[in-house]
C-alpha cells in the first residue's frame, strides 16, 4: 500500500490558474511586454517562474528575476486568493487520512504562499508537511522539493510506499528523479499528451478516479 502521498498544489489540489496567469500578465505589462491572452500564460503554472520568464520572453536571468518580482508584487496581495480547491478535494484528503496515510504537499511555489493558500481554504490540517521553495526560488525544481519533503518526513532512506500526484510533466519527472512513482491528473493544467510522455505509473481524469485508485490500493 502507498502509505505516504505527496501532492502538487496548483492544478492538483486547487484551480489556481486565474491568480497565476493574471499576475504573470501584470508582470509582463510592467516589463513592457503586454500579453492579453491569459491562456497563453498557463505554461507558467507549476514550474519555477524565473526560468519560465526566461523561456517565454527570452529574458536573461537578471531581467527574468525582475519580472518575477513584479509577479510576486501582485500575487502575494491579490493572486493568491484568485484560487479555489477543486470540488471534492477536502473529502478526498479526509478519506486518505482516515485510511491511515500520511499526506504532504510538495510544490515549486514559495513555501510561504503554499501555507497561506492551504490555511485560507482550511486544508492545512490534512498535511503532515507543506513543502515549497524559498522566496528567492532556490530549491524550486520539483526533484528538490520532493527531496526536501522526503527529508522532513524522515523517508530519505525509506522511500518504498511513497507516491507523488501532480498535473504536469515536471511532477512526474521530479518524482522519478527521487526514485518515486507518480500519478498524473488530467483535470489540472497539463495536457494528456504531456503526461503520457512523462510515463507516470497511472493517469487519472478526475478526483473520483484518484480516490478509486487509492481505494483499490490495499495493504
Each residue's pLDDT tens digit, 61-116: 999 999 999 999 999 999 999 999 999 999 999 999 999 999 999 999 999 999 99
Instruction: Give the active site residues.
Output: 8
Quote the pTM value. Answer: 0.93
pLDDT above 70 covers a percentage of the chain that reads 100
Structurally, how many domains does the chain consist of? 2
| 95 and 140, same domain (yes or no) | yes
Last residue of one domain, picked from the residues 81, 106, 132: 81
Among 66, 81, 96, residue at a domain's last position: 81
DSSP per position, the chain = ---EEEE-SBTTTEE-HHHHHHHHHHHHHHTT-----GGGGGGGSSS-HHHHHHHHH---HHHHHHHHHHHHHHHTTTGGGS-EEPTTHHHHHHHHHHTT-EEEEEEEEEHHHHHHHHHHTT-GGG-SEEEEE-TT-TT-SHHHHHHHHHHHHT-TT--TTEEEEESSHHHHHHHHHTT--EEEETTSSS-HHHHHHH--SEEESSHHHHHHHHHH---
Domain extent, residue 60, equals 17-81
Q: Do residues 53 and 158 share a domain?
A: no
Mean pLDDT of the chain: 96
Residues 58 and 118 in one domain: no
For residues 74 and 153, state if they share a domain. no
Residues 88 and 22 in one domain: no
Do 173 and 136 sit in the same domain of this protein?
yes
User: Which of 59, 81, 103 is the C-terminal boundary of a domain?
Assistant: 81
The CATH number assigned to the domain holding 56 equals 1.10.150.240
* Residue 160 shares a structural domain with residue 211: yes
The reply to whether 108 and 211 lie within a common domain is yes
Mark whether 161 and 104 lie in a shared domain: yes
Domain holding 169: CATH number? 3.40.50.1000
- Over residues 31-73, the pLDDT tens digits come to 999 999 999 999 999 888 999 999 999 999 999 999 999 999 9
Are residues 32 and 11 part of one domain? Answer: no
One domain, residues 166 and 146: yes
- Do 69 and 94 lie in a common domain? no
Amino acid at each position: 500500500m502507498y502509505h505516504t502521498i505527496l501532492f502538487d498544489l496548483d492544478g492538483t489540489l486547487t484551480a489556481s490558474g486565474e491568480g497565476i496567469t493574471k499576475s504573470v500578465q501584470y508582470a509582463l505589462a510592467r516589463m513592457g511586454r503586454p500579453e492579453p491572452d491569459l491562456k497563453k500564460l498557463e505554461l507558467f503554472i507549476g514550474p519555477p517562474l524565473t526560468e519560465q520568464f526566461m523561456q517565454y520572453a527570452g529574458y536573461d536571468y537578471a531581467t527574468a528575476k525582475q519580472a518575477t518580482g513584479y509577479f510576486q508584487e501582485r500575487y502575494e496581495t491579490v493572486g493568491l486568493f484568485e484560487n479555489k480547491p477543486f470540488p471534492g478535494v477536502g473529502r478526498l484528503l479526509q478519506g486518505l487520512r482516515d485510511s491511515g496515510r500520511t499526506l504532504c504537499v510538495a510544490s515549486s511555489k514559495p513555501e510561504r504562499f503554499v501555507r497561506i493558500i492551504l490555511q485560507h481554504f482550511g486544508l492545512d490540517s490534512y498535511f503532515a508537511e507543506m513543502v515549497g521553495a524559498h522566496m528567492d526560488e532556490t530549491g524550486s525544481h520539483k526533484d528538490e522539493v520532493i527531496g526536501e519533503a522526503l527529508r522532513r518526513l524522515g523517508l530519505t532512506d525509506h522511500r518504498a510506499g511513497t507516491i507523488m500526484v501532480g498535473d504536469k510533466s515536471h511532477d512526474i519527472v521530479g518524482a522519478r528523479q527521487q526514485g518515486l512513482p507518480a500519478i498524473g491528473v488530467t483535470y489540472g493544467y497539463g495536457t494528456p499528451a504531456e503526461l503520457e510522455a512523462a510515463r507516470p505509473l497511472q493517469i487519472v481524469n478526475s478526483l473520483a478516479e484518484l480516490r478509486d485508485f487509492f481505494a483499490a490500493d490495499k495493504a
